[in-house]
Amino acid sequence: MRPAISPRTSTRSPLADVLSGWPPPVFDPAGPAAGSIATLGWVLLAMAAVVTAVVLFFVYVALWGRPGTREKLGGTKIIWLAGIAFPVVVLTFLLIYGLTLTRSLTAPITGNEMRVRVVGEMWWWRVAYLDPQGRAVILDANELHIPVGRPVVLELSSNDVIHSFWVPRLSGKLDMIPGRRNLMRIQADRPGVYGGQCAEYCGGPHALMGFAVIAHTPENFARWRTQRLGLKAAAVSSDQAAVSSGEANRGRQLFRSAGCAACHRIGGTDANGLAGPDLTHVASRRTLGAGILPNNRGTLIGWIGNSQAIKPGNRMPPYSVLSGDELTALAVYLETLK
Amino acid sequence: MDKGGILSAVHYILTLLVFSTACKPLPEERHFMPGADPARGLKAIERAGCGACHTIPGLSWPRGRIAPELGGIAEQNLIAGTLPNRPNVLAAYVRNAPALISGSVMPAMPVTEDEARDIASYLYSLPAR
């Protein structure tokens, strides 16, 4: 039997599926900032429902009510009461309530929060973990690791056009504007992976500009951070691993000779390009291509070979000069970069 | 009609029913895969990211171009121009291509044996190009 093949609108990796799933992510908050936004959303929905019901009731009375009642409904008094006084009271209450509820979103930064700089690029995210003095200590891309239960301040900006940072289960949207630094506070209450998506049209592959936030327990986060800060040692060991595997070693040489290092940085090596995502820890990332593909050897080969077929318009050219063996060697090498 | 006659008539009708169902075209005799589910196969294809290299009918994104398009594989005699196109061979190839063809550019994929069977059954369900 032949199954019906239905065209699908979204076949993105579940990790970055920001807009699907049940309950919808915006109504399934995983932190205080997203929580207050979701509450406000529900309150607005409830109030709109009540107001609609009241209006429908008056429409019913106006059409089919007793003549005396209908006459009263046509008077100026009711217009003053229900048409002006009622909305003023309701909307004033709503405004005060809404501003109080979302006050935490714009509360001043205390300076004790963890700081991360996220820069929007066409069409990926440059991530730098900052120390209290604001110096970048860990460089990464397309993925953000945070500890649960601790506020994290994101310093959002852009290197090219306007992007918008949006992880619906953790907070609302905030634009990333060239030449400006916007601050956003996020906090996750439970460990997990939260998908994100650029929410401001930024050119061709905008829809394929995904992101992942990984929230760890404080212990796991501390371990992760120590591991990343001890990069030099890790790089040396991955170099040794490369030496032990002939294929990875060949991939490392190819990375240099094919010119990959002109755009990509790999910490601990002489690859220091800054135009594309940092690949120092590419093998430990959940996704490839900015939150859109699962990360495995097959997708690595496919991406290096012809990323234009996967993410049309992105800035990495297709590498049709590389043979299958060379693509495999490069993928094997990148897999050593944990 | 006596009792035996009724019984034999019932027997006759039942036999007819059984054979009439058997007269339907068999589901893809050549690629019959009991227990494998094409719909689950498509989900596994999405999860593993097969589309990064292959264009696969029914998968709208991604539509990779570095490896063969997979529509109409049921009509093909050989897998990758080398292996006989049988269900268990295709399932094994999907899961671990280098084990069957050494030096294969297609790597081992992160799918279970059951998922590989589901994927093979999905590929067999695709109409000819």
Can you give the pLDDT at residue A243?
53
Tokens 């990984």 identify what position?
Answer: A214
pLDDT tens, position by position, B65-123: 999 999 989 999 999 999 999 999 999 999 999 999 998 999 999 999 999 999 999 99
pTM, rounded to two decimals: 0.83
Chain B positions touching A306 (Cβ under 8 A) are 64-66
Which residues of chain B have a Cβ shorter than 8 Å from any chain A Cβ? Answer: 27-28, 38-39, 46-53, 57-67, 103, 105-110, 122, 125-127
- How would residue B25 be classed by pLDDT, with cut points 50, 70 and 90? very low
Chain B residue at shortest CA distance from A294: B49
- Measured between CA atoms, how close is B14 to chain A, in angstroms? 24
Which tokens belong to A47? 């109030």
Q: Using CA atoms, how far apart are residues A176 and A120, in angstroms rounded to an integer? A: 6
A129 has a pLDDT exceeding 90: yes
Q: What is the pLDDT of residue A108?
A: 81
Using CB atoms, pick whichever of A7, A296, A309 lies closest to residue B63: A309
Question: Which contacts qualify for A231-237: CB closer than 8 Å, 24 or more apart?
Answer: A231/A138, A231/A267, A231/A268, A231/A280, A232/A268, A234/A268, A234/A338, A235/A266, A235/A267, A235/A268, A235/A269, A235/A280, A236/A268
Q: Which residues of chain B make contact with A327, given a CB cutoff of 8 A?
A: 66, 105
Compute the distance between CA of residue B56 and CA of residue B74 in angstroms, rounded to an integer.
Answer: 13
Q: What is the pLDDT of residues A159-169, one digit of tens each?
A: 999 999 999 99
Listing DSSP states for A139-190 in one string gives EEESEEEEETTS-EEEEEEESSS-EEEE-TTT--EEEE-BT--EEEEE--SS
pLDDT at B24: 44
Q: Which residue of A has its CA nearest to B127?
A: A2
Say yes or no to pLDDT of A131 above 50: yes
Q: Is A5 on the interface with B (CB under 8 A)?
A: yes
**A293: enclosing H helix or E strand:** strand A293-294
Q: Which of A186-190, A205-209, A231-235, B96-100 has the lowest mean pLDDT?
A: A231-235
Is residue A314 predicted with pLDDT exceeding 80? yes
Exposure string over A306-325, b if 16+ CB within 10 A, otherwise e: bbebbbeebebeebeebeee
Separate counts of helices (H) and strands (E) for chain A: 9, 12
What confidence score (pLDDT) does residue B13 get?
61
Between A80 and A12, residue with greater pLDDT: A80
Mean of the per-residue pLDDT values for chain A? 88
